[in-house]
Amino acid sequence: MTRIRSTVALLVALATPAMALLQDPAPLDGTGDAEEGLDAPAPFRPVLPREVVPIQLRSGALHWAEVVEHDDEGLVLRRIEHGGMVRLPWALMDPVQAEALRRDWGYIEVEAEELLIDVDRLVLTNGSEILGVIESGEGDSFVVRREGNVQVVPKRTVASITGGVQVPALDVYSRDQLYAQEAARTAADDPAAQLALATYCERILDYVSAVRHYEAALALEVEDAEEVAMQLERAQAKAQRQEQVDYLHETQLLQRRGQFDDAMARLDAFASTFPESPLLEEAQRAKANLLRARERALVELVDRKWSYWARRLTRAGVGDRAFEAAAAYAVEELGKEIRERVLADAQVLAEELELEQLDALWVLRERGRYAQASYGNGTWLLGEDRALAGIPASASAQAQTGGGEKDAERAALEQKIKRFLENQQRARRAQSSAEKADSIQAGWQALSVDARAQWLHAYYVEFGGDFELRERPYLRRCSGCGGRGVSETITVGGRTGQDGGTQLEPCAVCRGIGSVRRVYYR
């Protein structure tokens, strides 16, 4: 047990409902509480405490007392009212004050301010990422230091690299590596250097080495020896629980690596592994933090992987499918396949995750900027109604006519174009279903594989029901006809005396629609 050296001036707000009050001291007749092992107070001359502090109980009661001793189990107090000695377990104190005191006295140091270093983030083409220090970039691969080892990453698998990312040093180097690097730069006969190394050791959670270097600093007659002695006491308390600290820190490493199930298993086993540990409450808090971190990681992964598989599967789904089959696949089957792939990815983080829970994670995604999906030159395959849906009639007309000022001759041409398009529309309606299907299928096959995959992705986004769409789409004028839906051919008079003029034909690109449809989603 360690004797307190300074007054703890800590008064916190009332806490949870009452559990127990401070025990009353033994009666003035001198009989004590043998079961609790408490010393009887002096019956006639109460001891006046030198350092009086407020102690808040879980019940909300406040007592002023002198902290005589403290250990893993709790405090030994001298009551100011009568000088009686009382042992108070940590569990009976206000949780906020108890945690603060235990942390100040070294019984909790799992969340110490760890040493951070700058690393690189390598985003791979498969959507995963690697955090580490690039030690070499020669040849066809990167050599990346991470988790105390090196990993060879082929450059062809790296999509992007971002520098300046900070992570705990123990995520990259082993504790022995960090200690060896710093110790090699530290003068053995310099008390200030030894003190700095001791502090460094605490930042890499090496409390055993920290004790050794605090002792060396004191032996070399470091300045502020009394303060260093207090630091040594705290480090000694932590060193006694080095195994427990390491256990919980390894759990944090597993969490940061995304190995949530393994981390949870370790936390579940902590109580049985260290049944008398003062860090049991810390382990419970770590479990709550782990659950929250896993949910955040799952939401981010589902969001990222959903978009990734949507594009991958739409391209794979084109295959040899006919147009009608491809469109049906996009709205009936594609969403199911995406969910199956995303679930497999998410089960790496949470093995017991089920398909029914996936949609809940998808709903929780962060909805930031809208992404876009375009039907490209295949917009006409939607049919005129769907291709122009969602925009005002005036905008639709402007998309087809091009808008702007027109003179009388131009107005006459536009009327001619309008009549031509109406005739084309009547002709299409007069076609048989088989003729329409053949025409659409021929247009579908004329598109490149990339264009069909792009079309299918836009169709899934707009009609699959999985994404939030912006209210209005965007229609861009067709590049082939300037948005009019027709192409003009100017003819001149022939030798037979035929008059020249303008011949109209449906635009070979947009097939009379005049627009390229783009939708925005998130």
Task: Please report where in the chains the tokens 């022939």 appear, as a residue.
Answer: 494
Confidence (pLDDT) at 229:
94
Most confident of 364-368, 396-400, 491-495: 364-368
Structure tokens at 38: 């408490």
Q: Would you call 123 exposed, middle or buried from its count of C-beta atoms within 10 A (0-12, 13-18, 19+)?
A: middle
Window from 28-42, 240-254, 461-475 with minimum mean pLDDT: 28-42
CA distance 404 to 19: 81
Q: What single string gives the DSSP state of each residue in 326-370?
A: HHHHHHHTHHHHHHHHHHHHHTTT-TT--HHHHHHHHHTS---SP
Please give the share of the chain, as a percent, with pLDDT higher than 90.
Answer: 46
Per-residue pLDDT tens over the stretch 428-443: 565 556 666 788 899 9
Contact 400, 394 (CB under 8 A): no
Round to whole Å and give the CA distance between 467 and 52.
Answer: 62
Beta strands in 381-511, from DSSP E residues, in sequence order: 474-477, 486-491, 501-506
| Least confident segment among 25-29, 175-179, 329-333 | 25-29
189 pLDDT above the threshold of 60? yes
- What's the pLDDT tens digit per position in 291-311? 989 999 999 999 999 999 999
Nearest to 333 by CA among 350, 321, 346, 351: 321
Mean pLDDT of 103-111: 58
User: Which among 327, 319, 318, 371 has a CA at the least distance from the CA of 464?
Assistant: 327
pLDDT digits (tens, 9 = 90+) for 221-256: 999 899 999 999 989 988 999 999 899 999 988 988
**How is residue 196 written in tokens?**
């700095």
**Would you state the pLDDT for residue 279?**
87
The phi-psi region of residue 248 (left if phi > 0; otherwise alpha if psi is between -120 and 50; otherwise beta) is alpha
Q: pLDDT value at position 495?
A: 53
This prediction has a pTM of 0.60
Q: For the residues 2-16, what does the mean pLDDT come to?
A: 31
pLDDT, average across residues 386-397: 71
Q: pLDDT value at position 80?
A: 80
Domains observed in the chain: 2-104 (no CATH), 116-171 (2.30.30.100), 372-521 (no CATH)
What pLDDT does residue 6 have?
33
Chain-wide mean pLDDT for the chain? 80
> Does 396 or 338 have the greater pLDDT score?
338
Between the CA of residue 343 and those of 333, 356, 361, what are the distances in Å?
16, 10, 11
Lowest mean pLDDT, pick from 368-372, 423-427, 501-505: 423-427
Report the C-alpha gap between 8 and 53 in whole angstroms. Answer: 6
Is a pLDDT exceeding 70 seen at residue 22?
Answer: no
